Structure 1
Amino acid sequence: MIDGFKHKGKREQLVQLLRDKGIEDELVLNAINQVPRHLFMDSAFEEFAYKDQAFPIAAGQTISHPFTVAKQSSLLHVMKGDKVLEVGTGSGYQAAVLVEMGAEVYTIERQKELFDFSQRIFKKIKIRPKYSTYGDGYKGLPSFAPFDRIIVTAGSSTIPKTLLKQLKIGGIMVIPIGNENQMMTTFMRIGERDFEKMEFGDCQFVPMLERREK
């Protein structure tokens, strides 16, 4: 688990690339500059870890493009101390970025192989979520609700109303909506039953699925 000068230099180059692509949130950029993305990936891809590319991880899933992580994080408008629910821990990289931004992160993963992987990485680095669990992301974490922010890191064909209910009034959810191709979408809760929806362009994520018990 080495994070040397070479890696740090590559992260600085990545941050500049993200700036060039339109990411302006300094909290996001600073976090990406601190989190060692290469440690969340198979060592075979280490040389490419700081390119703006997605790469395969366990259970047929992928670690998202750094731009995608930065974009979703920016759309959350996280403030330090915010209580954030992440649906889809994956490798753990997005959760680590949010923690580095100062968020109190609660994260849930439905793939046991990925859950175990992320737990090993969290233990080996000094960036850990407030709470991390294995379960069905569609259900969220109602016992910890409400949340200031909710981020969904997989494409959902429908709007998960269960998750919207776990959002504070004034809170924001960021989620890709659609089937094969999705639209990056935000929902701001402005009342008990009222939400303001905004769309931020096409995106492509692996599908969000319910956990199936054997």
Structure 2
Amino acid sequence: MSAENKVREEIVRLSKSLFDRGFSVGSAGNISAAVEDGILMTPTNSCLGFLDPARISKLDRNGNHISGDRPSKEVFLHQAFYETRPQTGAVVHLHSTFATAVSCLSDTDPDDCIPPLTPYVVMRVGKVRLLPYVRPGDERMGEMIRELGGRHAAVLLANHGPVVAGRDIASTVYAAEELEETAKLLVLLRNAPTRLLSPENVAELKAVFGGY
């Protein structure tokens, strides 16, 4: 099996896992992964639970559609991560329930919308920015991510959902899951006295495990 076909199969396997566990519903969400000569992306209006590896969209590095079904309309936000974070090997965009809920709360801190409740959100996700609402598929999504200058591996799109970039498809899916679980904790702990990791705790984690 070629390297590209292995990535196609991995996208299908992990997408189905996300769908089966409720991280994605209907045709919501999209996933992409870098290959040697371009980017593979889930097609527009496709369901993450029922992907066909042969029909996954393929684009060149400039975002031009090469083969497969038509790519997700949110190709712009994926491409922006690949352009601004050279280490990016995959991008996962979900409409997962609790991360989307946090993106809808009016008192969410736009500069740090997923606080350091656990070491794992620090290690796998990093500081998360909240980006202003624009309609799905609007090219301004890509512009807003480019304006971050590659400083963040994860964002919340206001009233829309999370987007996470990572080194490869598996670690990016795991990071998206970690973000969702931390958002769930954040909602469950809302209005309760909460202990966060200290700046020193966060610095130690970044020193030992690196950052995204």
Q: TM-score, normalised by structure 2?
A: 0.32
TM-score by length of 1: 0.32
Which has the larger share of strand? Answer: 1
Structure with more contact order per residue of length (Cα contacts < 8 Å, sep ≥ 6): 2
